[in-house]
Structure 1
Amino acid sequence: MFNHVTFWILSLLSFSAFSSNVGDISQQELLEANTNSVVIVDVRTPEEFQQGHVPNAINVPLSNIIDNPAILRISKEKPIVLYCRSGYRAGKAAEALQKNGHQNLRHLKGDMQAWLKAGLPVAK
């Protein structure tokens, strides 16, 4: 019988297998990146984004990406760096974008929690 434990185990396994297809970018690498050569996407809610985000990031909430993964079609030529609060939503966004043909995706290592913990600049 398919129960909640089985569901969570399968979900974690599929997320782990998926996330290995998206490379991490460190905080330092992102700070040193030319902001014209990369698109930084915060997939948190607009309210979370307004409280503080990585400088030069745009806010495209996960729900928007899932509903319309083509929303970032103009960015297919540039690497896209995804982040959220802790990583789960960024992984789901990457999955939706990969299904839509995005190949050059990166995940900000540690997401916003690590960015804040490191005392890095925050835009509001």
Structure 2
Amino acid sequence: AQPDTAIGQPAPVFSGLGFDGTPTEIRADGTARLIGFFAHWCPHCQRELPSTVDWLESNDLPDGVEVVAISTAVDEAAPNFPPSSWFAREDWPATVIVDSSSGALTEAFGLTGFPFWVAVNGDGTVAARVSGELDVAGFEALLATVTPGGAVTESAAGIRLVTANDGAQIQENPPANLVILDVRTPEEFEAGHLEGAILVDFYDDDFADQLAELDPDVPYLVYCRSGNRSGQTTPILASLGFDDVADIDGGIVAWTDAGLPVVTD
């Protein structure tokens, strides 16, 4: 098998809401995390979630380590809907974050199947990624890959997901030197973009090099079509030392759905 190129790279930094609306921010804060992605309709997830609950009830996590669940790929016509009821029935004891309807977090973390686990060190770097159902030994092996502590990376601390309406507030009341960064294609940009945005095409071969030419010391508002490309852009920005980046959850689709304006000039 080919080595996972994500290992050692900065994990996406994000914020989100739980089923009850409680906000949670996941960033490089010294806490190591096992982040599990679960779909309520997935048979493997239906076994993995209670298995993880059993382990957490019977064992103590190492100091400085926590487990976080991401509820994603919601289907109203599928079993165990709504997922909030499923997690409640299984007595999930840890943090849950609800992914966007576009699956921005699954895209940002490179999900390849369900369930999907990402082990993140305390310094915010990816330690391991695993797709598929884990037995107890597999879960404990994954747990052994993470190292808590480490320097908190200021570059990651200010990278966050924001709603379209929050993004509009940033645009309307911009901090000094705000850059609005569109990472879609030129064709998408010409069809409609946020006023004042600059374009850096995610699909350009030298995309990362173009990002490196931008000023890391000013604030950014980043978006794409649905949140997928921007979600993959923010870890690159973090690795380059950008310390104030707001990523619009759901992209320009969410923006226009909220009735917010775009320009075509």
One fold, TM greater than 0.5? yes
Whichever structure has more strand as a proportion of its residues is 2
Residue pair 2:168, 2:260 contacting (<8 A) in 1 also: no
- Which amino acid in structure 1 is aligned with residue 224 of structure 2? C
Residue 231 of structure 2 is aligned with which of 84, 87, 91? 91
Moved more, 90-99 or 80-89: 90-99
- Pick the aligned partner of 2:222 from 82, 88, 103: 82
**Which aligned pairs between 1:30-41 and structure 2 lie closer than 5 A?**
30-34=170-174, 37-41=177-181
1:8 aligns with 2:112: yes
Is 1:69 the counterpart of 2:212 in the alignment? Answer: no
Deviation at 1:33, TM superposition (A): 2.5
- Cα deviations across residues 7-48 of structure 1 (Å, max 9, x unaligned)? 6049x655xx88x96312323322323275311101000000
Q: Which has the larger radius of gyration?
A: 2
Q: Which runs of 5+ in 1 are unaligned?
A: none
Q: Distance in 2 between matches of 1:109 and 1:33?
A: 19
Corresponding residue for residue 255 of structure 2: 115
Runs of 4+ in 1 over 4 A off after TM superposition: none
Helix, strand or coil for the counterpart of 2:262?
A: coil
> Which of 200, 214, 234 matches 1:60?
200
In the alignment, which residue of structure 1 is the partner of 2:161?
A: 24
Between the aligned partners of 1:101 and 1:118, the Cα distance in structure 2 is: 31
Tell whether the 8 Å contact from 1:81 to 1:105 is kept in structure 2 after alignment. Answer: yes
Q: Distance in 1 between matches of 2:207 and 2:224?
A: 18
Q: What is the rounded CA distance, in whole Å, between the counterparts of 1:31 and 1:74 in structure 2? A: 19
Counterpart residue number, 1:43: 183
TM-score norm. by structure 1 comes to 0.74
2:182–2:224 CA contact under 8 A, matched in 1: yes
1:48-89 per-position Cα deviation (integer Å, ceiling 9, x unaligned): 00000011111111134x724342434212111110011110
**TM-score (ref. length: structure 2):** 0.38
Structure with greater proportional helix content: 1
Is the 8 Å Cα contact of residues 181 and 199 (structure 2) preserved in structure 1? yes
- How far residue 99 of structure 1 moved from its aligned partner, in angstroms, is 1.7
Structure with more contact order per residue of length (Cα contacts < 8 Å, sep ≥ 6) = 1
Range 26-35 or range 81-90, more displaced = 26-35
Kindly tell me: are residues 44 and 13 of structure 1, through their superposed partners in 2, closer, same or farther at Cα, counting changes over 3 Å?
A: farther
Task: Find the residue that maps to 1:77 and give its secondary structure.
Answer: coil
8 Å Cα contact 1:87/1:110 also seen in 2: yes
AA aligned to 2:200 is V
